[in-house]
Amino acid sequence: MTDTTTPTPPPVLVMIDRVTLDDPPLAPGETGWRVVPADEPQIDVADLGLTRGDGIFEGLGVVGGAVQALEPHLRRLARSAAMLDLPALDLDVIRSACLEGARRHGSDAPLLQKLVVTRGIEGGDGRPTAWVRTEVLPDHDAERRDGIAVVTLDRGYRHDVAETSPWLLQGAKTLSYAVNKAVLREAARRGADDVVFVSSDGYALEGPSASLVLRLGDAFVTPRTDQGILPGTTQAALFEILTELGHAVSEELVPIGQLSSADALWLVSSGRQIAPITTLDGAAVPVDAALTAQLVEALEARRR
C-alpha cells in the first residue's frame, strides 16, 4: 500500500526567556520568548528539571489552531509553581509563547503542546528554564471509539495526604513523573492500557495523566481534588458540556467499591480528550458509545 499521507510536520520549540515577574520588564518590542531549532539540544545537564525532576508542566491540546483551555492551564501552572515555591510566573509572556507555538506550527492536525518550567541551573542565577514545544498529537481515535482496559493501582498515600503532608507535592503537576510512567508499564504487564490510582485508604483518585469521570445513574461524578489530585482542565470542560446537556455533575469522595457499580467510566485528558473504560481490573464496564461519541465531538469542537 502506498503511503499517500503527508509527512508529519516537525515540532516547534519556543524557549521562554522572561519566565517570572522577578525578571527585568520587557523593553518595547521584546516578546520574552524566542523560536529556536527543535532538533538541537537546548538544556544544560545541570538543569534541576533534569537532575531532580524539579519543575512543573502542562500538556495543552490545540485544535484548528486554537489552544484549548489555555487560561485554566495557565492557572494550574501558577498553582503548581506556588506549591513548589517557584517565583511568581509571568503568565502573559508564557501565554504569548503558547499562542506563538500554535501559530508557527500551522498544521491543521490536532496538536499537543508541552509547556515546562524548571527551577533552572543548579548553582546558577536562580532563574527558571522554560519552554513550550508544539507537535502533532498522536492519533487516539481507536481509544476514543473502542475504549481502554484499565487497572487500579495503589498510589501508596492516604486520600488526605495533601493536607497532612504538603511537602509530598501531591496535586502539583511536577516533572517528577517516573512513577506515572512506571504504573503504565505495570498496567501493560497486566494486559491493560491505563491506570486509575487509588489511595491507600480506599478511594479512587485519577489516572497517571488523566481525570476519572463516573456515571452513576443520571449523575456524573469526578473525585474531589482535595485528595492530592489535579484539577482536570478537560474534566472541567466536560462538566460544562454535560451541564449544558442537562446532566447533574459533582465532585465527590469515590470509594473504590463505587467503580464496579458505575454505569460508565471515562478517563479524560488534554491529549486523548476522552476515552471510555471498557474493563476495570479485568471486569467489564458498561459503555455508552453514543454518549461518548457526542462528548468526543463536543470536546474537540472547543475553540478556547
Alpha-carbon distances of 2 from 5, 6, 13, 254, rounded to whole Å: 9, 12, 31, 50
**Phi, psi at 148, each rounded to 5°:** -135, 145
Q: Which triple of cell numbers denotes residue 297?
A: 465531538
- Of 269, 275, 298, 297, nearest to 288 by C-alpha is 275
Q: Which triple of cell numbers denotes residue 115?
A: 509547556
Contact 219, 250 (CB under 8 A): yes
In angstroms, the CA 75 to CA 175 distance is 17
Residue type at position 275: A
- Of 174, 176, 217, 210, nearest to 195 by C-alpha is 210
1: β partners = none
Contact 213, 206 (CB under 8 A): no
Q: Which is nearer to a copy of itself, 57 or 239 (CB)?
A: 57
- Residue 178 C-beta: closest distance to a copy of itself, Å: 4
In angstroms, the CA 159 to CA 228 distance is 7
Residue type at position 78: A
In angstroms, the CA 82 to CA 95 distance is 18
**Phi, psi at 278, each rounded to 5°:** -100, -30
Q: Which residues bind a copy of itself (CB under 8 A)?
A: 11, 13, 38-55, 57, 84-85, 114, 116, 118-119, 131, 133, 153-158, 161, 164-170, 172, 174-183, 185-186, 200
In angstroms, the CA 230 to CA 39 distance is 31
**Phi, psi at 259, each rounded to 5°:** -60, -40
Alpha-carbon distances of 12 from 37, 194, 224, 272, rounded to whole Å: 8, 28, 36, 20
